[in-house]
Chains A and B, each alone.
Chain A
Amino acid sequence: MSEKDLLREMGLAFFGRVTASFSHEINNVMTIINELAGLMDDLLRVADQGRPLQLERLKGISERIGTQVKRGESMIKRLNRFAHTIDEAVKTIDMIDLLEDLIALAERPLTLRRARLETKFPEETIFLISNPFGLQQAVFSCIELILAASYDNQLLRLILEKQDGGARITIAGEDPIIKLDDINLSFLPILMEKLGGKIEVILTDNGRLSLILSLPYSIP
């Protein structure tokens, strides 16, 4: 398979994983709203049978529905922004904005592994002229890679720093990984090359894994 085909295939796979994960989350929200609406119906039904209707309880349920609607709305906005990252191959990117969106996209894979992600961003954001979809794919894949090599409850750190006019993103696991000899970077070096950058892997003696993405200010 050519590098171009590999990148296209991995890009589609990434797009599929993110949308599948988000649609699952949105379905969970719909399920809760369905149950809350059902609970309201139940209370109205028992009121019809003579049990006093507690307005405060109905108000509380209505507020709980509102909370879920806001949760769903936020997910749909994130998903929509993610879908639009493929609109332009190269554009000016606010890196903090991009990484915050990415963290929201990674929430479910992190939750399923009971992992936490802590971030450290510079006070002022960094702007890069790059490919937004490719950047998200690179960082997301690094998170997935560390999760795949870790026990549950891993603490991940995501650090964004300025570097030589460009940016450096470090994704590091705080706890030792399981598979010390089996770090498969897959397509990431090829993707990073297309973005004009590179990936470094640092595995400390005590088994902590860091993946460092170095990115130029502008894509070649």
Chain B
Amino acid sequence: MALLRVLLIDDEEELVFTLTERLMLRGIEVEGVTSGADAIKCVREKNFDVVVLDIKMPGIGGLEVMKRIRREREGMRFILMTGRGSPEEGEEGMQEGAFAYLVKPINIEDLIKKMMEAVRV
């Protein structure tokens, strides 16, 4: 059984692909998608412990995705990823109810630590 079930959302396909590979090597089950619309579809079909998502994405932005997923899965925990120049967006996400935010480039061990904390809460 997987340690955690994670939904990873970022419009950079290569980032999703690579981060998914790295998390899976650590025994974490990951579903990676590159758009908010795909993410919303995904949570309707599968169960996840935590959602990790980029804030700035084309189409439906990260904060809006978080709101819409929460409508489907009330207790879902969210970890946001934001660019180095825009930590205020991470703070805004925290006010909107995200569990944590990390500034890119992220440290994978920090991400896993935050995911574990999110699940324990």
Q: Measuring CB to CB, which residues of chain A are less than 8 angstroms from any residue of chain B?
A: 20, 23-24, 27-28, 30-32, 34-36, 38-39, 42-43, 46, 64, 68, 111-114, 152
Contact = CB atoms under 8 A, between A and B. Distances in A.
A154 to B, nearest CB: 12
Given A64-B14, A68-B14, A113-B58, A27 B22 contact: no
A36 B18 contact: yes
A32 B84 contact: no
B56 interface: yes
Contacts of B15: 28, 31-32, 35
Interface stretch (B41-49, B71-79, B104-112, B113-121): B104-112
Contact of B58 (A23, A32, A38, A114): A114
B84 A27 contact: yes
Interface of B: 11-12, 14-15, 18-19, 21-22, 25, 56-59, 83-86, 104-106, 108
A46 B58 CA distance: 36
* Chief secondary structure at chain A's binding surface: helix
A35 B83 CA distance: 15
A35 B12 CA distance: 12
13 contacts: A23-B84, A28-B12, A28-B104, A30-B105, A34-B105, A35-B19, A35-B22, A36-B18, A39-B21, A68-B14, A111-B11, A112-B57, A114-B58
Contacts of A23: 84-85
Contact of A39 (B12, B18, B56, B83): B18
Contacts of A20: 85
B106 A31 contact: yes
Contact of B59 (A24, A34, A39, A152): A152
Contacts of A28: 12, 15, 83, 104
Nearest to A114: B58
Top 8 closest A-B pairs, CB basis?
A: A34-B105, A35-B18, A31-B105, A31-B104, A24-B83, A114-B58, A32-B14, A32-B15
A35 B108 CA distance: 8
